[in-house]
Structure 1
Amino acid sequence: MEVDDKADWVNPSANARLRDQLGSMAAALSNPVALRGLACMVGGIAVLLLPDVTTGLVTVIVIALFAISGLADLVYAVAGGRWFHRRINRWLAAPRGLAALVLAAFLGLLGWAGAGEVTLTFVVGLTGIYVGIRGVVAIIAALLKRHERDPIPALAGGSIAVVGGVLAYVVPNSLATTVIVTAATASLVVGLVLISWSIRHEARGTGPDPSAATIPEVLWDWIEGSDVGRSTRADQAAGLYFERPERLTKLGTWWVMLVLSVAIATFAVLQDSTAVVIGAMLVAPLMTPILGLAGALVNGWGRRAFQSATLVASGAGAAVILAYGIAAWAPLAISFSTNSQIVSRVSPNTVDMMIALAAGAAGAFATVNARVASGIAGVAIAVALVPPLAVVGVSLNGARYADAGGATLLFLTNFVAIVLAAAIVFVLTGFARPFALRHRPRRILQTVAPFVVLAGIILLPLMLTSEGLLQNQTRERDVQRTVEGWLGPDSGFAVTSVSISGSEVSVTITGPDDPPAATDLRDALQEDFPSPIGLELTVIPVQVTVVPPPDA
């Protein structure tokens, strides 16, 4: 065997094949498309690794985009023609262009003169006002001209602009962070697709010329080249939709598993057991119709989309009712303030949406790729669908309506994020029909647009929660530093905990002696708060006893 292995190494034909493969790989990775993909990946990684540089750069880019947009609108208003291949109202373009230029000049002069710190948060907030107003104008224009052309695309675009503008104005910091991280991740994905397309193009020798192809042309060729075919698509769809033959049997099995998973999740919540909650996640079947809805949206399957959405809605409603009933008969006293399964699901934030986006993408990829299908169990654990519904039922039974609302928001967050992420993956992996994407783009966009708008609406409370958590953490750090300054550098005390609840600041310190006056600490803390605060200081004495060893 060793002789054969050695012969393979010295075989001239094997070495020639290896050289050809390496040459093909080098050629694939050196064409312009691959280089652009590499640039996208490097840019995405740099954004994630250099947050301070990124925020400053994004601020400059946003101001520059305002100036470019304003100049373009003014040029159109004077010269006419088409703007992005469509006609727009020249009388609206002129004031809009002037407003954009004035805003860009104001921000630029403010930063250049040093009159104030032009932060990304400030720029995003002003951008929100501008985009929101444009969205309202677009909606009004679409309604006024509804008899001349189809108003749905303009209404969808205007609604998305309004939602985005509101988010940018209300929670600029959280929105900026979310957009930057999402853009960096998208850049990494696009870079991987471009590099993979270059390798496939080198192997097949077909497709657009890499030296002249644009990124949209490459992405479209990738989508067409990834088409799984009618037969494979039918086989994959059979696992997502409950259709003949044996439609009733499949539906019956689905409902049985849903009832069992809800029962397990509800008992786990009542008992505050994380292990049992994980078991409920593994057997919960709600992921299937949600992925089916995403697949139906990108393929233009209206009947399947309606059936999947109906199944999700009816399953969610049944889960809440069943959890309510189980909680009503449970012989356990529930502590809503200390039960970790409830507390962790009633205050969702943007991180929960990020998790759901990643889990939805992974679930869709596992659906269309048999080699990673075993990972669907991990997806079920990563994103909770049934446990939040169980918390909704338990909270309603306990008349904890705020908690029920928070758990409902978490479920809706997971649902919308999974649909959007899975739809993108289905397009890139070839499950979506290229024919439908090419010939029915408006219909597909119109069915996906409501989910984008719903995602924006859901993002508002999520970002408000994230913004509140961020502000609270910042204040707690400031309080920590103030307490340490109040104790002094040579103090024997250590700060054990700091918490803020409304207008009350709670501080716990541990040490052997008497601390400085608490009123001095309250006065020092007041400088960090705009409204009057109270102080609850807890001092834990430390007693040290030293016993020497006995004499020999």
Structure 2
Amino acid sequence: MTSTDDEALAIEPRTNERMRDRFRSATAMLSTAVALRGLAAIVAGTAVLLLPDATTTLVTVIVVVLFAIGGVADLVFAVSGHRWLRRPINRWLAALRGLAALLATAVLGLIAFAGSGEITLVIVVAVLGVYIGIRGVVAVIAALLRRRDRDPLPRLAAGSIAIVAGVLAFVVPASLAATVIIAGATVSLLVGLVLIAWSVRRAGQETGLDPSTATITEVVWDWIEGSDLGRATRAEQASGLYFENPSRATKLGTWWVMLLLSVAIATFAVLADSTAVVIGAMLVAPLMTPILGLSGALVNGWGRRAVESSLLVLAGAVVAVALAYGIAAWAPVAISFDTNTQIISRVSPNTIDMLIALAAGAAGAFATVNTRVASGIAGVAIAVALVPPLAVVGVSLNGGRFDDAGGASLLFLTNFVAIVLAAAAVFVLTGFARPFALRKRPRQILQTVAPFVALAGIVMVPLMLTSEGLLQSDTRLRDAQETAVTWLGDDSDFIVTDVRIDGDQVQVTISGGGDPPSASSLRDALQADFDEPVGLRLAVVPVDVTVIPAPVG
């Protein structure tokens, strides 16, 4: 055996020992109570996203059970004065709230067991909307009755929010349920990652928290304090977000030049209906910088920087719309607003656009703080698309299409608000926000962030209405397709080739040989699927088959 073989045999035990040590260390880090809660949160969030059918069933059962428990608890308090939760409320109002909860439970029970059909998540959310609305009214009344004892504004605000949420849940239950479930699963994943990351970092960093007794809030706050970047690093990163001395004028001038060029590129791309050129405009556009700067200023309590960033975004948006309007007015092209894909894709935003912007804002903030992934900021710019909606606004205003201009404006506002909120959350978790400011001036910071949260709530209303309309359209189209296939039957020589819905008319195209079934029977079957009167346009494409056998010999 050579000396080289001896050395290899000596090294192998040491390598195995190091691997065993690392495995034991990782096991110890992930076996704490905090890490186990993090793993549970990640598993729960993943299960919600991967098992939608099971999730909807579970959520439905949980909501119904909570209805019953909440109603019984309120009635017990109304009769005996004993509270399960330490929240003061008038006993008559508690009785009203309890009756509303039990009434909601009874309605759901009738739906399930009286032959009206199974309880679906949409029905549960709609009933929940009525209940939340009633609770909001109760909260407003309670605030008015106790206005002499305490400040009524917080309760009035909470009650008003509950009323709005209840109306939304009743009007657009499907889109609201989907949005809440996706958001909840995402938050569960993020919280789980933070808890596990804290457990890993705790192994090499002293902390005063006991993992066996620490709450999730305490762990998150300890994570924020431990992630503090420090004054020097924070100042270095802030220099890329704010246009300040030295060379303030040069920085602003460069920003404006890039904005004007990106708007020009985006406008010409919209006029030419070119997706590739629109992507180029997204890469050039500099609007993301002041928006991220606004988020950083909000969570750090930098009032002057927040105002300057807001004004820069506002001025940039106004100039972008004006420039796009002027280019469209002088461009020697005719625009088809009904077929231009760049316009069509940006005039009907929905909740998916809000979720995209939230993810893009979080990615942009993380790329700002972590220089190792700074190259990903280009992908963020493509994902969120800030300048193209402004170009569509200008082009639509020039063409007198005010509805399209409003839809594109809503898309830009959606992207703006979502980026601000998502980036603010990431800045807090990654240490860009000063822990001192968060600890000493939480009320001030919350007051500066609250208007953007309220604006996000306002923006969500039309987004959910659009999403609900899309969901209903998809459901109607799917029902119409199934009805048409059933109408033909299994032994028919015809096949359904196309089904469309245009207003109150269903357009069905079939192809095959022979005589199709009666069109009136199809219309009657379709009418059973629709609440409002429906018409039918049936197109039959005949198929003639000619067979010529091959010659013999």
TM-score normalised by structure 1 residue count? 0.91
CA–CA distance in 2 between the matches of 1:9 and 1:363?
A: 49
SS in 1 for 2:506: strand
CA–CA distance in 1 between the matches of 2:477 and 2:471?
A: 10
SS in 1 for 2:347: coil
2:381 maps to which residue?
Answer: 380
CA–CA distance in 2 between the matches of 1:96 and 1:246?
A: 64
1:218 maps to which residue?
Answer: 219
Moved more, 53-62 or 36-45: 53-62
CA deviations on 1:122-147 (whole Å, 9 max, x unpaired) are 22223223333444555676688788
Moved more, 444-453 or 330-339: 444-453
Aligned 8 A contact 2:101 2:131 in 1: no
1:427–1:191 Cα change, 3 Å: same
CA–CA distance in 1 between the matches of 2:435 and 2:115?
A: 53
What aligned pairs does 1:164-313 form with structure 2 within 5 A after superposition? 164-313=165-314
1:98 maps to which residue?
Answer: 98
CA deviations on 1:403-432 (whole Å, 9 max, x unpaired) are 111111111111111111111111111111
CA–CA distance in 1 between the matches of 2:64 and 2:397?
A: 48
Aligned 8 A contact 2:108 2:124 in 1: no
2:60 maps to which residue?
Answer: 59
* CA drift at 1:118: 3.3
1:131 maps to which residue?
Answer: 132
CA–CA distance in 1 between the matches of 2:305 and 2:71?
A: 44
SS in 1 for 2:317: helix
Aligned 8 A contact 1:72 1:97 in 2: no
CA–CA distance in 1 between the matches of 2:270 and 2:108?
A: 54
SS in 2 for 1:527: helix
2:29 maps to which residue?
Answer: 28
* CA drift at 1:548: 5.5
SS in 1 for 2:203: helix
CA–CA distance in 2 between the matches of 1:30 and 1:474?
A: 46
1:456 maps to which residue?
Answer: 457
CA–CA distance in 2 between the matches of 1:151 and 1:451?
A: 22
* CA drift at 1:70: 4.9
* CA drift at 1:524: 2.5
Moved more, 32-41 or 529-538: 529-538
SS in 2 for 1:507: strand
The residue type equivalent to 1:181 in the other structure is I
The residue type equivalent to 2:507 in the other structure is S
Moved more, 286-295 or 11-20: 11-20
CA–CA distance in 1 between the matches of 2:441 and 2:462?
A: 34
1:355 maps to which residue?
Answer: 356
* CA drift at 1:261: 0.7
Matched, 1:402 2:393: no
The residue type equivalent to 2:270 in the other structure is V
Matched, 1:476 2:477: yes
* CA drift at 1:91: 5.3
CA deviations on 1:424-475 (whole Å, 9 max, x unpaired) are 1111111111112222222222222222222222112111111111111111
2:51 maps to which residue?
Answer: 50
1:504 maps to which residue?
Answer: 505
Q: Aligned residues: percent identity?
A: 69
* CA drift at 1:269: 0.6
The residue type equivalent to 2:458 in the other structure is I
What stretches of structure 2 of length at least 5 have no aligned partner? none
SS in 2 for 1:471: helix
SS in 2 for 1:498: strand
Aligned 8 A contact 2:35 2:196 in 1: yes
Matched, 1:320 2:321: yes
SS in 2 for 1:204: coil
1:161 maps to which residue?
Answer: 162
1:317–1:210 Cα change, 3 Å: same
CA–CA distance in 1 between the matches of 2:374 and 2:292?
A: 14
The residue type equivalent to 1:320 in the other structure is V
The residue type equivalent to 2:106 in the other structure is F
1:106–1:484 Cα change, 3 Å: closer
Moved more, 256-265 or 67-76: 67-76
1:179–1:4 Cα change, 3 Å: farther
1:337 maps to which residue?
Answer: 338
Aligned 8 A contact 2:89 2:142 in 1: no
CA deviations on 1:159-205 (whole Å, 9 max, x unpaired) are 43333222212111110111011111111111111111111112324
CA–CA distance in 2 between the matches of 1:3 and 1:135?
A: 79
The residue type equivalent to 1:387 in the other structure is P
Moved more, 368-377 or 100-109: 100-109
SS in 2 for 1:505: strand
1:145–1:485 Cα change, 3 Å: closer
Aligned 8 A contact 1:152 1:446 in 2: no
CA–CA distance in 2 between the matches of 1:535 and 1:518?
A: 8
Aligned 8 A contact 2:299 2:445 in 1: yes
Aligned 8 A contact 1:156 1:450 in 2: no
What aligned pairs does 1:78-97 form with structure 2 within 5 A after superposition? 88-90=88-90, 94-95=94-95, 97=97
* CA drift at 1:353: 1.2
CA deviations on 1:282-329 (whole Å, 9 max, x unpaired) are 011111111111112222222222211111111111111111111111
CA–CA distance in 1 between the matches of 2:146 and 2:315?
A: 38
SS in 2 for 1:431: coil
CA deviations on 1:491-518 (whole Å, 9 max, x unpaired) are 3333222111111111222334443343
SS in 1 for 2:204: helix
Moved more, 93-102 or 427-436: 93-102
Matched, 1:423 2:424: yes
Aligned 8 A contact 1:38 1:195 in 2: yes
2:120 maps to which residue?
Answer: 119
CA–CA distance in 2 between the matches of 1:375 and 1:418?
A: 15
1:267–1:513 Cα change, 3 Å: farther
1:356–1:158 Cα change, 3 Å: same
TM-score normalised by structure 2 residue count? 0.91
CA–CA distance in 2 between the matches of 1:325 and 1:8?
A: 77
Q: How many equivalent pairs are there?
A: 549
